[in-house]
Amino acid sequence: MTYIIAEIGINHNGDIDLAKQLIDKAQNAGCDAVKFQKRTVDVVYPKDELDTPRKSPFGTTTREQKYGIELELDEYKELESYSRNKGLDFIVSCWDLDSLADIEETCDVKYHKVASAMLTDKQFLERLNDTGKPIIVSVGMATEEEIGKALNILNNVEYVLACTSTYPTKAEEVNLKYISTLKDNYPNLKVGFSNHYNGLDACVGASTLGAECIEFHITIDRVMYGSDQPASIENVDDLVKAIRQMELMVGDGVKKVYESEKPIVAKLRKVNDI
């Protein structure tokens, strides 16, 4: 079965209760995992960017906005426990070395996820190897050469996900056929799809191409505050149901006469002389 990841990311807006609501939503829909993001604000963003004016629910500067949407480490630990109690795997995308060290010290994640933005950071990839944890890689924004180099560095990749890093992604830039290209290029890896399209079509389409992992952002309401909300899925139940149904419909590619067809053969086929 397709491994389905509900990416909560930063759609919790720094509110642990909202994060738990999103975990509940993922669990009720039948997802396999939830994924969060972790950043050390003063490491990831330069000071001049943090000092720029930016109105948000958290204040009037970019610094206040960035700190406002970050969770504390004890909250990650609480959310890990909450997720596990719901039967969900807990995954985190770290965006810097300090965040990786903090998450490793605080939580026991099922996977580390390499966000597309981190794919070309050699030191970060090597540090992921040191964790010994299985890894999921997204390849948005990356060239074939960059993807190859990253996968050569990483020791424990389980899934590599086709991805376009625009929020939301235009239909003509989703490029689902790249799933098949990744399968051809990396036959020893499981291949999947990381979605930033704001409808259900892309994820369901990915399942017809044999995606073994499908990841999509989820939200309570796409009009909520947050940069990722417009590329997120509200009706998670419908999407998971559609993916599971498509898994059944794709079949195994072997032509057969089903038992359900045999009475129809007897009723409708009058001549069989070939």
pTM: 0.94
Is 64 in contact with 41 (CB distance < 8 Å)?
no
Query: Is omega for the bond preceding 168 within 30 degrees of 0, making it cis?
Result: yes
When the candidates are 3.40.30.10, 3.40.50.1110, 3.20.20.70, 1.10.10.10, the CATH number that belongs to 3-268 is 3.20.20.70
According to DSSP, residue 52 is labeled: S
pLDDT confidence of residue 273? 82
- 94's enclosing H/E stretch is strand 89-94
Cβ neighbour number for residue 47 with a 10 Å cutoff: 8
CA distance 168 to 171: 9
Write down the residue that tokens 């969900």 correspond to. 88
pLDDT confidence of residue 102? 97
pLDDT in single tens digits along all 274 residues of the chain: 999 999 999 999 999 999 999 999 999 999 999 999 999 999 999 999 999 999 999 999 999 999 999 999 999 999 999 999 999 999 999 999 999 999 999 999 999 999 999 999 999 999 999 999 999 999 999 999 999 999 999 999 999 999 999 999 999 999 999 999 999 999 999 999 999 999 999 999 999 999 999 999 999 999 999 889 999 999 999 999 999 999 999 999 999 999 999 999 999 988 888 8
Q: Hey, which residues does 174 pair with through a beta bridge?
A: none
Is 88 in contact with 109 (CB distance < 8 Å)?
no
pLDDT confidence of residue 274? 85
User: Could you tell me how many residues make up the chain?
Assistant: 274
Cβ neighbour number for residue 85 with a 10 Å cutoff: 10
Q: Hey, which residues does 112 pair with through a beta bridge?
A: 92, 135
Is 56 in contact with 225 (CB distance < 8 Å)?
yes
pLDDT confidence of residue 271? 87
